[in-house]
Amino acid sequence: METTLNTPIDPKTEKQERIFQGTPVSGGVAHGFVRHVGGSFEPPSMRRIVMAKVDEELARFHQAVESTREELEKLMQGLDEDLDRHTHEILEMHVMVLEDSFVREQVENFVREGLECAESAYYRVVKNCMDSFNRMPDAYLRERALDIKDVALRVLKHLRGDDGLYDDGGASAVCIAHDLTPSETVQLDRNRVLGFAVELGSRTSHTAIVARALGLPAVVRLHGIVEALEHGDEVLLDGNEGILVLNPTADTLERYKALAAAAEAKEAKLLAGGTGPAKTTDGNRVLVGANVEFVEELPLIAECGAEGVGLFRTEFLYLEDPHASEEKLTALYSKVAAEVAPQQVIFRTLDVGGDKLVEYERELEQNPFLGWRGIRVSLALPEAFKKQLRAILRASCHGNVGIMYPMISGVAEVIEANRLLAECREELVQQGVNVCSKVQIGAMIEVPGAAAIADLLTPHVDFFSIGTNDLVQYTLAVDRVNERVSELYQQTHPGVLRLIKMVVDAAHRAKIWVGICGEMAGDVSLTPLLVGLGLDELSASSPQVAAVKHAIRKLSSKDCQGLVEKALQEGDALAIHKLAQAMAVEKYPELFPAAMVEAATGKD
């Protein structure tokens, strides 16, 4: 969405200030000039070849692949082994994509049988692969189509003899792209990158991950910016509010300078008070943990005041190295457990779709949203599942470890997973391997059916962790990354809140604890609802932890329970959100923008 600000034309540039609204994925503010980066992915011109030229055309294709491999290997050699480990693993995955035999054989077939030029054949094959990933239900996996695109751009570049896709010349700039891939980001001189603004993407995209790792602001879903902005345009990128300002006026720049100073002061104050437990004003303790994807994030745990890791997403490590040995997994999990100790780290077992695990060996599911996912994949591939379970058990002697199973829909799944876990434990004991005598076992509640039978699941687990991201979309039949129905994705829908309460009540009757690890846990405008619902633990991203703890300390459990009683009788999700937000703004106004506080209090 684009609007024109009611500000005067800058007399220096005689250009009017314009603002583009997108989705913030990495906080901070950057001011600089535009640099367009990334390559286009348009179908190449179709060119037929004669039979006598087939071998020559295939040799050209193979040479392009080999040149791409050399290019990726050169990139990896230039990285710092410690500082750039994640980037190195991304590029290793790109080499695996490049060497995929399915793609190579399909291209060779199109060239030999269809007498199609290498560019066109290669584009057709990789485009089909990308489309398959784009149809997957998991947002992170959909973004993996970018990895395929990244490699394809390089191969096509060599086939076309074009070496200009990755030019990184110039001074410091805000990088603008339609869709920025990982190694395009790597190619840029980090010392001259101020931030990222792209037309596509999500919070789980590589752009978001790399930006957060680099501490740079990033905004995605900024529709129309590639066409609207030119090289050298002056822009201001607000990664907190998801805004890009073209031709910012002196007044706008001054206003943002003041906002930046205030934000830094507020963040420093929150972090300073982030240590210690989070208790409500009437003494109710709520544990606040962090969600973690990569080993490199661990130093942030102590800095932000997190009380352990409420969700370690093991699929991120899997996607970096699908064929990692048990020894490698054990080393990684042990490192995590040791660094978080004595606090607990909860490892979620693999939560990806089956298409990623068994590439190209199964037909595309007609409805992947309701298909082979999470625990279903693990139970269908018991040896792979047991490898991961054994690695987690072996890591348990290095810290306080928990395990939770994703996408549980029935009791039988938990019983079978626990049986395999017990089998792994027995095997390790017989081998003389040390494992902790007690590892907490949990079930993720993401499916409405699981919430409805929470009382039947309690005898088989030590805790529940509610994954609100999926619970909301499954309850309301809304894809949370589909912009067409995004307004229907309502975390405060009464149906969602009633399911959460059902799970909390069942857990507490069975005397087990229950937490939330979805995005809802980090939204301080909803903290009053979560406290009132009786959640024992909230697990959010590291940058959100200090604010969530601050919010809890300002609330009364009794007041929050009263809020929930009122909310559960309300039929409108927006009205419920307003109730929660009103209490939040009243109790901790310092966490909200001044305009929101003024609107809530009626001040002009």
d(CA 416, CA 393): 17
Pairing of strands 173-177, 2-4: unpaired
509 has binding-site annotation: no
Burial class (CB in 10 A: 0-12, 13-18, 19+), 525: buried
470 has binding-site annotation: yes
The answer to whether residues 257 and 57 touch, using CB atoms and an 8 Å cutoff, is: no
Nearest to 514 by CA among 491, 534, 495, 540: 534
d(CA 94, CA 231): 29
Cα atoms found within 13 Å of the Cα of residue 95, Cβ hemisphere only: 18
Is 560 an annotated catalytic residue? no
d(CA 549, CA 288): 7
Q: Is 288 left (phi over 0), alpha (psi -120 to 50) or beta?
A: beta
85 has binding-site annotation: no
Is 397 an annotated catalytic residue? no
Q: Which of 129, 517, 560, 577 is catalytic?
A: 517
The answer to whether residues 343 and 308 touch, using CB atoms and an 8 Å cutoff, is: yes
154 has binding-site annotation: no
469 has binding-site annotation: yes
Q: Is 389 left (phi over 0), alpha (psi -120 to 50) or beta?
A: alpha
Q: Which of 206, 398, 493, 550 is catalytic?
A: 206
Beta bridge partners of 36: 176
DSSP 48: B
Q: Report residue 486 as tokens.
A: 């995004």
- Give the DSSP H/E element, type plus range, for residue 583: helix 573-587
446 has binding-site annotation: yes
d(CA 102, CA 119): 17
Which residues contribute to the annotated binding site? 313, 348, 446, 469-470, 480
Which residues contribute to the annotated binding site for phosphoenolpyruvate? 313, 348, 469-470, 480
Which residues contribute to the annotated binding site for Mg(2+)? 446, 470
Catalytic sites, residue numbers: 206, 517
